[in-house]
Chain A
């Protein structure tokens, strides 16, 4: 019993609760820092807790992020979908989960991702990029303009 209590305490320390904000769970561990950068979490002053290389049956190693006082818009959630397609968002109000959101990969991605092709017109003129999602996992995007395919490891955000 004592051992169990201790491990529960440790577990609590690992993933401490937040009062208001968003919990993003089931991020593939290897993409944690990409998610942080895409959501601009490295540029804000809110309290952020994250854990990585946590056990997850589904993903192998998962990561979790808890951000205080931040509530994401759908457009931003779309951005995560590209590299964390199974991510789940919990919206926290007064320590309670008030809403759960599942990240879903859209059919079309407009204005979020850069085309990886240096000879694509979108990298030379001010054009909003547009991709068709041709494969969801791992993600593959076909540029509407140059028709080249941008893969997961080539994805850079606008």
Chain B
């Protein structure tokens, strides 16, 4: 049976740990010709330069070749071809499909239609599992463990898929504590709080972004994304509410690291960049190793 990665919950805790192990291996030795002679289709039905470049770098470092498109205007979707037909065609050509799509559930559907493995590179506001695995790898690298951590999530916790998936994944580990900092209308949805409740995992909700962060091991900042709002007035109301600056880091723990899925707008002041607690650019670099690990895992290359 082929292996896909569509939702972070498709993988078990053992698989998370396997990906972490492989990522460390690729970090030590990024260029490994495991994909030599293989073709990977990179289908971006929605532009995402960062994710696409990270994937295409990972594929290149594994020695694979890439076919595909970077934005929907150059795909047959503009001619009205269904996703079903596009995937049916592409899986005849490629050994692996990496796919980003604006509609939720598109990747799950593609995986059903495709005869080759599918890796979800983001489906609307739903899932972005490779981001979660690179976040976990960043947490592991900076904290030395994935157990007993106090995780603060800040900003748009309602629409931010990265925080949802990270919550699901980290709740598999020992004794996490979650702190959610968000404006009232962007709070963590009840479904995810329920997920924690049934597992007996502690979490706290705050509206104020204050020195409560002194308890944090990880501060995961998110961008309030304009494209997730149907009403621009609602966006204007909340976009500048949660901004992290250097002064706020004074009382934080020495081991704390600040993560952000990037791109940031203004939610992390640039004066934070020089702090040793800032980790978001290294986090992005970890993405290549995590994606090399994920590709190797789903294609049984290692």
A146 to B125: give the CA distance in the assembly, Å. Answer: 9
Taking the nearest CB of chain A, how far is it from the CB of B74, in angstroms? 20
Judging by beta carbons under 8 Å apart, are B109 and A127 in contact?
yes
Cβ-defined contact, B84 with A146, below 8 A: no
- Residues 89-145 (chain B) with a chain A CB within 8 angstroms: 101-106, 108-109, 123-127
Q: How far is the CA of A120 from the CA of B109 in the complex (A)?
A: 11
Total residues of chain A contacting the partner, CB 8 A: 17
- Among B7, B103, B123, B191, the residue within 8 A (CB) of A124 is B103
Alpha-carbon gap, A25 to B104, bound state (A): 39
In Å, the complex CA distance between A143 and B109 comes to 12
B-contact bits for A98-123, CB 8 A (1 contact / 0 none): 00000000000000000101011110
Q: Do B191 and A143 have beta carbons less than 8 Å apart? A: no
Instruction: Tell me whether A149 and B191 are in contact (CB under 8 A).
Output: yes
At the interface, yes or no: A30 with Cβ under 8 Å from chain B?
A: no
Partner of B126, one of A125, A126, A147: A147
Grouping DSSP codes into helix (H, G, I), strand (E, B) and loop, the A interface class, with mixed when no group exceeds half, is loop
Q: Is B31 an interface residue (CB 8 A)?
A: no
> Which residue of chain A lies nearest to B7 when distances are taken between CB atoms in the complex?
A147
* Chain A residues within 8 Å of B103, by CB: 119-121, 124, 146
Q: A117-B104, A120-B103, A121-B105 are in contact. Are A146 and B126 (CB under 8 A)?
A: yes
Question: Does B82 sit at the interface, judged by CB under 8 A?
Answer: yes
Q: Shortest CB–CB separation between residue B81 and chain A, in angstroms?
A: 11
The answer to whether residues A146 and B104 also contact, given A119-B124, A125-B109 and a CB cut-off of 8 A, is: yes
B56-105, CB < 8 A from A: 82-84, 101-105
User: Given A124-B103, A148-B104, are A119 and B125 also a contact pair (CB < 8 Å)?
Assistant: yes
Q: How far is the CB of A30 from chain B (nearest CB, A)?
A: 23
How far is it, in angstroms, between the C-alpha of A149 and the C-alpha of B191 when the chains are bound? Answer: 8
Which residues of chain A are near B82, meaning CB under 8 Å? 125-126
> B123 to chain A: which residues have CB within 8 Å?
121, 146
B125→A147 contact, CB < 8 A: no
A44 to B109, CA, bound (A): 36
Nearest CB in chain B to that of A127: its residue: B109
Q: Which residues of A contact B101 (CB under 8 A)?
A: 121
Q: Which residues of A (41-72) have their CB < 8 Å from a CB of B?
A: none
Once A119-B125, A125-B82 are accepted as A-B contacts, the answer to whether A147 and B109 lie under 8 Å apart by CB is no
B residues in contact with A148, CB < 8 Å: 104, 126
CB pair B191 A146 closer than 8 Å: no
CB distance from A76 to the nearest CB of B (A): 26
* Bound complex: CA A127 to CA B109 (Å): 8
Q: Are A121 and B106 in contact (CB under 8 A)?
A: yes
Please determine whether A146 and B124 come into contact, CB atoms closer than 8 angstroms.
yes
- Which of chain A's residues 75-103 have a Cβ closer than 8 Å to chain B? none
A146 to B104, CA, bound (A): 5
In contact, A145 and B124 (Cβ under 8 angstroms)? no
- Is A144 in contact with chain B by the CB < 8 A criterion? yes
- Smallest CB–CB gap between B168 and chain A, Å? 10
Instruction: Give A115's nearest chain B residue, CB to CB.
Output: B105
Q: Which B120-178 residues have C-beta < 8 A from chain A?
A: 123-127
Closest partner residue, chain B, to A149 (CB atom): B191
Q: Nearest CB to that of A143 among chain B residues?
A: B105
A147 vs B7: C-alpha distance when bound (angstroms): 9
B window 1-60: CB within 8 A of A: 7
> Are A147 and B127 touching (Cβ within 8 A)?
yes
Binding site for A on B (CB under 8 A): 7, 82-84, 101-106, 108-109, 123-127, 191
10 contacts between A and B (CB under 8 A): A119-B104, A120-B103, A121-B83, A121-B104, A125-B83, A125-B84, A144-B108, A145-B104, A145-B108, A146-B126
